[in-house]
């Protein structure tokens, strides 16, 4: 059984790598078509020591090295490096990390540089260079704090938090610093979303008290969002967090508040993106076992096809609950 299990795990790992490489080739091809040609002074990757010249990852490396846009090249290289880590080929991943560090120094646009630093930090932590990785996350946060686009800033904070949590307890100081930065974001939806998502991460690690603190901080922002469907989405996320923490009373309270934002609302037209936000609220309520309320919520969606899809999802949740 152990041998079969090991073979199955290796097959899954190989399948992942082949799927990744196929995606990498597509991304490389698109980048080559859409990006300006690479500058001659950009450092080229040295393939010395990469002896698996017949492997799909090696061919992906060759293609990635030809990508003109340096930021796109970095992102492709970082994904290939992560695939080498998954294979257990640490030396190859470290060689790529050194090259990526050289390339990243040539990116000056703040948003792109911050995103690249987070990717480098993630790779360093995967390679057990935790202290250096967390320091790199700190650099990314320094840049992110100056970004004028608050939604983009919030998205970057989300990625920083994801990587910081992957470092375990060592990453908690970076998590705390990031949360402090999130709390001063003026965009209420962004603030509420990052806080509730981070609370969920704490809860998954058995740190419910820390998660509950963040949920409490998210509530004022969630309740003050101007759009009723986005306000409902934020409140339903709060309800889910309370439910995950075992506080059924608070979960029910905020589930009702989320539903109250939408039930009885007359919406004549709505962008598809917003309609899907309402559908997601219905899905969250159905996930909490509130099927009738969920169905009432999604009936306000004006697009018949999105409304139908939402009702199907609620019905499927009901069927799963009965199994």
Q: What is the pLDDT of residue 38?
A: 45
Q: Residues of the chain with pLDDT > 90: what percent?
A: 75
Over range 66-72, report the average pLDDT.
91
Question: Could you give the CA distance from residue 283 to residue 288 in angstroms, rounded to a whole number?
Answer: 9
pLDDT digits (tens, 9 = 90+) for 234-282: 999 999 999 999 999 999 999 999 999 999 998 889 999 999 999 999 9
Lowest mean pLDDT among 15-19, 85-89, 266-270: 15-19
Residue 171, domain member (yes or no): yes
Find the farthest-apart pair of alpha carbons in the chain and give their distance in angstroms, rounded.
Answer: 66
Q: Identify the sign of the CA torsion 257, 263, 266, 270.
A: positive
The values of phi and psi at residue 147, to 5°, are -75, 125
Residue 24, domain member (yes or no): no
pLDDT digits (tens, 9 = 90+) for 142-174: 999 999 999 999 999 999 999 999 999 999 999
Residue 164, domain member (yes or no): yes
Domain encompassing residue 123: 53-185
248 burial type by CB count under 10 A (0-12 exposed, 13-18 middle, 19+ buried) = exposed
Q: What is the pLDDT of residue 59?
A: 87
Residue 277, domain member (yes or no): no
Q: What is the pLDDT of residue 56?
A: 83
Residue 205, domain member (yes or no): no
Specify which of 37-46, 64-73, 284-293 reaches the highest per-range mean pLDDT.
Answer: 284-293
Q: What is the pLDDT of residue 54?
A: 59
Residue 126, domain member (yes or no): yes
Over range 92-96, report the average pLDDT.
92
Q: How many domains would you assign to the chain?
A: 1
Q: What is the mean pLDDT of the chain?
A: 88
pLDDT digits (tens, 9 = 90+) for 200-210: 999 999 998 99
Q: What is the pLDDT of residue 213?
A: 95
Residue 129, domain member (yes or no): yes
Give the confidence band of 313 by pLDDT, cuts at 50, 70, 90: very high
The predicted model scores a pTM of: 0.81
Q: What is the pLDDT of residue 97?
A: 94
Per the CB < 8 A criterion, the answer to whether 207 and 198 are in contact is no
* Residue with the larger pLDDT of the pair 177 and 52: 177
CATH of the domain at 61: 1.25.40.10
pLDDT digits (tens, 9 = 90+) for 273-311: 999 999 999 999 999 999 999 999 999 999 999 999 999
Residue 70, domain member (yes or no): yes
Contacts of 195 (CB under 8 A, 6+ apart): 179, 182, 183, 214, 215, 217, 218, 221
């Amino acid at each position: 059984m152990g041998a079969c299990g090991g073979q199955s795990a290796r097959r899954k790992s190989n399948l992942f790598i082949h799927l990744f490489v196929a995606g990498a080739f597509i991304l490389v091809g698109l980048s080559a078509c859409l990006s300006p040609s690479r500058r001659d002074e950009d450092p080229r990757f040295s393939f010395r020591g990469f002896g698996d010249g017949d492997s799909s990852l090696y061919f992906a490396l060759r293609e990635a090295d030809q990508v003109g846009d340096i930021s796109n090249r970095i992102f492709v290289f970082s994904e290939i490096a992560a695939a080498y880590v998954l294979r257990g080929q640490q030396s190859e991943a470290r060689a790529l990390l050194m090259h990526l560090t050289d390339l990243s120094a040539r990116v000056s646009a703040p948003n792109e540089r911050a995103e690249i630093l987070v990717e480098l930090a993630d790779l360093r932590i995967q390679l057990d260079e935790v202290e250096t990785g967390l320091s790199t996350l700190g650099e990314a946060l320094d840049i992110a704090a100056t970004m004028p686009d608050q939604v983009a800033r919030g998205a970057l904070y989300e990625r920083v938090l994801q990587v910081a949590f992957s470092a375990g307890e060592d990453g908690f100081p970076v998590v705390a610093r990031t949360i402090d930065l999130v709390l001063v974001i003026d965009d209420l939806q962004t603030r509420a979303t990052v806080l509730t998502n981070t609370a969920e991460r704490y809860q998954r690690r058995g740190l419910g008290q820390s998660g509950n603190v963040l949920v409490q901080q998210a509530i004022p922002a969630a309740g003050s969002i101007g759009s009723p469907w986005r306000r409902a989405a934020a409140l339903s996320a709060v309800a889910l967090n309370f439910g995950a923490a075992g506080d059924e009373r608070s979960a029910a309270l905020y589930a009702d508040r989320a539903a109250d934002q939408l039930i009885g609302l007359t919406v004549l037209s709505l962008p598809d993106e917003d309609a899907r936000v309402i559908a997601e609220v219905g899905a969250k309520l159905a996930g909490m076992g509130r099927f009738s309320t969920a169905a009432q919520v999604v009936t306000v969606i004006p697009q018949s096809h999105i409304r139908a899809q939402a009702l199907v999802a609620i019905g499927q949740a009901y069927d799963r609950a009965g199994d």
